[in-house]
Amino acid sequence: MSKNFIDALLETKDFKNSLYSILKHSFLYHSNKIEGSTFTTEALALLLDKNVVTGKHTLDDVQETVNSSYVFDRIVETLGKKIDDQFLKDLHARLMFNTTMHQRGYAGVYKTIPNMIIGTKVKIAQPFEVQSRLDELLEWYYSLDKITLSDIASFHYKFEIIHPFQDGNGRIGRFLMLKQMLENNLSIKIVSWDSEDLYRESLNLCDLDNQEPLSKYLETLEDFREEYKELWESM
């Protein structure tokens, strides 16, 4: 009898070239590249598999790439755990550990300086609004009976326009999407760096009353589960 996707993912966690490592590599490569990482897919594979850094990168890029690997593991380890302030701040602290943001005291804490989403005209929450708007978002999400991909798109948009951290909001937001897709046995949609413009445009076209543009964008992306169906269903 074939295993379900989550069981197969967990069972292959410690093996190279496995379902777990393929999802991890694909997710991190695209999510980090959207934020300007200079790691190629080959260089990222070397870092994840052999702890070897090749190519020219800033120190922050190397550290954040290493950190993102640990955050991915944390996301899988905590499937089923509710998202709350402690969880969000812990993810951010892990992502920003030993980076410039960490040295400046901005790791694992909500923002104190107004910020924005580059490439969009979206109005972002002010620092004093972050806590109440996050509370409202999480209360709404956990009140849903059956979570759909459309709900996850709505959550992602609302999280991004809160932009709770000084930096790293896009990466944290996409990690949360991955967690939500896995927990709800949905298609695994990885926002790809080569469709970054469409991703940002879809965010720009959304508003608090309509997140359909982002939902439609996600629907155009390949489903990782389907792409590697033979790999995990054969277990």
Tell which CATH architecture fits domain 5-231.
Orthogonal Bundle (1.10)
Global confidence as pTM: 0.96
Q: How many CB atoms lie within 10 A of CB 45?
A: 17
What confidence score (pLDDT) does residue 19 get? Answer: 95
Tell me the binding residues.
Answer: 167-174
d(CA 224, CA 222): 6
Confidence of residue 119 (pLDDT cuts 50, 70, 90): low
pLDDT bucket at 234, cuts 50 / 70 / 90: confident
Give residue-wise pLDDT tens across range 58-102: 999 999 999 999 999 999 999 999 999 999 999 999 999 999 999
Residue in 123, 113, 23, 120 with CA at minimum distance from that of residue 76: 23
Give yes or no: 163 in active site. yes
Q: Where are the domains of the chain?
A: 5-231
Determine the pLDDT at residue 129: 97
SS3 of residue 189 by DSSP? strand
Report whether pLDDT(174) > 70: yes
Mean pLDDT for the chain overall = 94
**Residues 204, 120 contacting (CB under 8 angstroms):** yes
* Cα–Cα separations (whole angstroms), residue 73 to 14, 77, 171: 11, 6, 14
Choice among 1-10, 11-20, 33-42 with the minimum mean pLDDT: 1-10
- State how far Cα 53 lies from the chain centre: 23
Do 97 and 107 meet the contact criterion of CB atoms below 8 Å apart? yes
Can you tell me the distance from the alpha carbon of 25 to that of 69, in angstroms, rounded to the nearest whole number? Answer: 9
State mean pLDDT over 203-219.
Answer: 95
Residue 2's pLDDT is 54
